[in-house]
A and B are shown apart, each in its own frame.
Chain A
Amino acid sequence: SQQGEEDPQALSIQEGENATMNCSYKTSINNLQWYRQNSGRGLVHLILIRSNEREKHSGRLRVTLDTSKKSSSLLITASRAADTASYFCATDDTDKLIFGTGTRLQVFP
């Protein structure tokens, strides 16, 4: 399977804490993307990092990419209850968009 893996599978934190999720993948990539999914809904794009970039920021999100280790991490700072959702990484290797297994994040008020 080309599917990547994310860890942890589940993460529970208090509001205000930071949440870090990791993604490992198997193939060469053009870019890596992170998506969010609220329960029962479609996925929504959060951030894209190109293969020649090492770090990218967007609001409270910080993404890193290490192509030598085939891994990426997503950091959500100062989490809020509204951040409760599942988060997926996806690798874009020209034509295919392959998703990881996801991390379920629960943020308690």
Chain B
Amino acid sequence: NAGVTQTPKFRVLKTGQSMTLLCAQDMNHEYMYWYRQDPGMGLRLIHYSVGEGTTAKGEVPDGYNVSRLKKQNFLLGLESAAPSQTSVYFCASKWGQVNTEAFFGQGTRLTVV
């Protein structure tokens, strides 16, 4: 059981480039989340999904898009990266709607220069 796996672990992008971060979970979880973590800001929710084929905006969705074509995968896209998107990105998943814990990936450290 791998749990939640994020790919890649590190990436450096130039301003204006695009990239996709992949989150994969093998626990058959319905709910999946993308967060960004910046110093002093804690974790802020970017987008989330409550099941295959669904996505919804979180607290800071601007500049990001997501897709959940398969239940086990949640993709986070940056179409035109900006230095303000330099951050550590975490993916999480949980089984159900109520009273269930979330499991986190190890994070992707993204630098936009």
Contacts and interface: CB of A to CB of B under 8 A. Distances in A.
A33 B102 CA distance: 9
Contacts of A42: 4, 90, 104-107
A33 B99 CA distance: 9
Given A97-B94, A101-B42, A48 B58 contact: no
B21 interface: no
B99 A50 contact: yes
A94 B48 CA distance: 12
Contacts of B31: 95, 97
Contacts of B62: none
Contacts, number: 70
Contact of B98 (A40, A45, A92, A100): A92
Main secondary structure of the interface of B (DSSP, over half): strand
B44 interface: yes
A2 B41 CA distance: 12
Interface in B40-74: 40-45, 48, 50, 56, 58-59
Contacts of B101: 33, 45, 48
Interface of B: 4, 31, 33, 35, 40-45, 48, 50, 56, 58-59, 90, 92, 94, 97-99, 101-107
Task: Give 10 closest A-B pairs by Cβ, nearest first.
Answer: A42-B104, A101-B42, A45-B101, A99-B43, A43-B104, A102-B42, A42-B106, A99-B42, A30-B98, A31-B99
